[in-house]
Amino acid sequence: MESETAKNAVLERLESIRQKLRTACESAGRDPQAVTLMAVTKTVDPELINTAVDAGVHVLGENRVQEFLGKRELYRADAEVQFIGHLQTNKVKQIIDKVSMIQSVDSLHLAEAIDRAAEHAGLRMPVLLEVNIGGELSKSGVSPAELPALLRDVQQLPCIEVRGLMTIPPPAADPAEQDAVFAEMAALYREMQNEAPLSVLSMGMSGDYESAARHGSTMVRIGSALFGARYYPPKL
């Protein structure tokens, strides 16, 4: 059982994040409603996750297939789950009918596996293409140079619907650099909107969501700022 103190801490952090998001959006002339707050659930107790869902956070982000499959039955029914972690092609089948979007598509190979699994399950899967905007420091994601070709190829797949872009920028040295990276990502997103009807730009995490919101993010993915620092039990 999670204590009332732990639940109240989540509610207080949530209020503070919402306030900061509102301020960030308003400072950039954006409608705060245009930014969805996703709760990132890795390592978090389902009871605390449901505390956030009860308070109006309806989109949950999952990183790990096994952890997700073990916890999903415990989530409130009005929570929708999106997959945001690195996904191996042989695990796609396990999640295809349990998530409403896969945000981490960074190769045609993975997209084809999702397309096949979606066809088999009789559905069409919304996806985001993950972009490695920071260059070599981050390992996952397609480079901006390779993005147009990947977008074109994935759009040909019948059981996939490309909804937008996702990025995890490397930690920035200072706020100006952080702003520059998000501005670059927003420009790339606008450019790709000429190629496809994209409506989701998923960028911004606990340490940088205000900057991301000022630069046009439509979804921030927040873990530790909402649930507290993650605790990874030592491997036995």
Contact stretch for ligand PLP (CB under 6 A) within 16-24, 29-37, 131-139, 204-212: 204-212
206 binds ligand PLP (CB under 6 A): yes
Contact between 215 and ligand PLP per CB under 6 A: no
Say which DSSP state 24 is in. H
Q: Taking the CB of residue 214, how many other CB atoms lie within 10 A of it?
A: 21
Does 52 bind ligand PLP (CB under 6 A)? Our answer is no
Instruction: Give the nearer residue to ligand PLP in terms of CB position, either 75 or 227.
Output: 227
Task: Tell whether residue 218 is a contact of ligand PLP (CB under 6 A).
Answer: no
Contacts with ligand PLP by CB under 6 A: the residue count is 14
Does 131 help bind ligand PLP (rule: CB under 6 A)?
no
Q: Which stretch binds ligand PLP (CB under 6 A): 70-78, 111-119, 188-196, 201-209?
A: 201-209
CB of residue 216 to ligand PLP, shortest distance in Å: 17
Cβ neighbours of residue 155 under 8 Å, at least 6 residues apart? Answer: 162, 196
The residue ranges that bind ligand PLP (CB under 6 A) are 40, 42, 63, 84-85, 168, 205-207, 221-225
